[in-house]
Structure 1
Amino acid sequence: MDRAVSGVSRLTRTVHVLRALASVVLVTVLYYVAPLDWGVGVGTVAVLVGALAVFGWLLVWQLASISRARYPWLRAMGALAVAVPLFLVMFSAAYFLLAHDVPGSFSEPLTRTAALYFTISVFVTVGFGDIVPTSEAARALTSVQMIVDLIVLAVLGKAVFGAVRVGLRRRDHQEPGSGLAPGPSEPGGV
């Protein structure tokens, strides 16, 4: 990746990094201030399914944006900075709502932070075991997250690197001799 971003100014890299950090902070703040007090029911499931659909649409839009970007690696970093936190807070909100609407769904009461922690530990498959789902609904929701995690990790990784590769090829055809394509040892290299 070093050669892929070597032609990028320090200011451009800094702006992209700050934008990515701002995205993470914004999504996290919105999670903590969102009014999560409506309880669990069919509406909650519909909201989660709708949120996952919006997430899928956002991901497709981001991939197209990466492939058209002047600096695909930087755009990919920004896309991941939005997609991953958004995905995590969707499940965190669902766990938080379930824990408050159906006490005893987890081995301990979940605050927003505990719900986010649980979601992240399931996402990265660490599973410390300090918080565990105890009700059928909590186990079902956790199972859905595990399955979707596998899909998201596989698709996100392959699609983002594929979009970066397309963007680099497109840019190299527009800027012959730019020397900014990835090398053989870099992700997306030949």
Structure 2
Amino acid sequence: MLALVRPLGATLILLISYFLLPLESDGRWHMVGFAIGGLLLLTFCGWEIRHFLHSTRPVAAAVEMLAAIVGFYLVAFSSAYFLLSEYGVAAFNEHLTRVDALYFCLTVFTTTGFGDITAASQPARIVVSIQMASTLLLLGLGLRFVNLVVQHRLSDSGPAEESGSS
């Protein structure tokens, strides 16, 4: 359970940023915000990888890493849907607020698809299709990759550390 505190905290920070930062504003500050966000994301990814490689509990570190990736993934697609709704011509069957965009992203991610919000334009349908395919990749290949890396780390650790990571 403790392994989820850090990625949930990171996801909470991402969600707060998603709701408070001016995604729809134009100008140079918009680009500065994207640049800073990109640098923070790269720093966070590097830190997660470093943490995983040096962790004495690779299974917990892998769970943390996967939870953090899912949090970022959801906020990134929610932002894309919100921006498509703001700038796209009739991208969805209704104008999306940030809450609507997050809700729509979660219904696509969980394959619930209630049908109350639908992609109406070609660009929106492309982004939704990318999310559908990447969700399968994230869950299928992502879990497999994490499993392989954890097994590799456990085999490198030896029996003494392996029993401490359970």
Using the size of structure 2 for normalisation, the TM-score is 0.77
The 5-angstrom pairing of residues 41-190 of structure 1 reads 58=45, 62=48, 65-173=51-159, 175=160, 179-180=163-164
**1:69 Cα shift?**
1.7
Q: Which moved more, 1:92-101 or 1:150-159?
A: 150-159
Could you tell me which runs of 5 or more consecutive residues in structure 2 were left unpaired when the two chains were aligned. none
**1:181 Cα shift?**
6.8
**Counterpart-to-counterpart distance in 2, 1:179 and 1:85:** 29
| Identity within the alignment, % | 31
Deviations 1:146-190 (A, max 9, x none): 2222222222111112222222222235x37x63476xxxxxxxx
**1:110 Cα shift?**
0.7
With over 3 angstroms needed to count, the CA separation of the structure-2 counterparts of 1:165 and 1:61, relative to structure 1, is farther
Give the alignment's Cα RMSD to 1 decimal: 3.0
Contact 1:99–1:109, Cα closer than 8 Å, also in 2: yes
**1:132 Cα shift?**
0.6
Q: Which amino acid aligns with 1:18?
A: V
Could you tell me which runs of 5 or more consecutive residues in structure 1 were left unpaired when the two chains were aligned. 1-12, 183-190
**Counterpart-to-counterpart distance in 2, 1:36 and 1:160:** 32
Higher Rg: 1
- Aligned residue-pair number: 156
Contact 1:169–1:181, Cα closer than 8 Å, also in 2: no
**Counterpart-to-counterpart distance in 2, 1:108 and 1:115:** 11
Higher-helix-fraction structure: 2
| Pairing 1:30–2:14 present | no
SS in 2 for 1:179: helix
Partner of 1:21: 8
Using the size of structure 1 for normalisation, the TM-score is 0.68
Contact 1:66–1:72, Cα closer than 8 Å, also in 2: yes
With over 3 angstroms needed to count, the CA separation of the structure-2 counterparts of 1:168 and 1:67, relative to structure 1, is farther
**Counterpart-to-counterpart distance in 1, 2:56 and 2:143:** 20
**Counterpart-to-counterpart distance in 2, 1:162 and 1:63:** 15
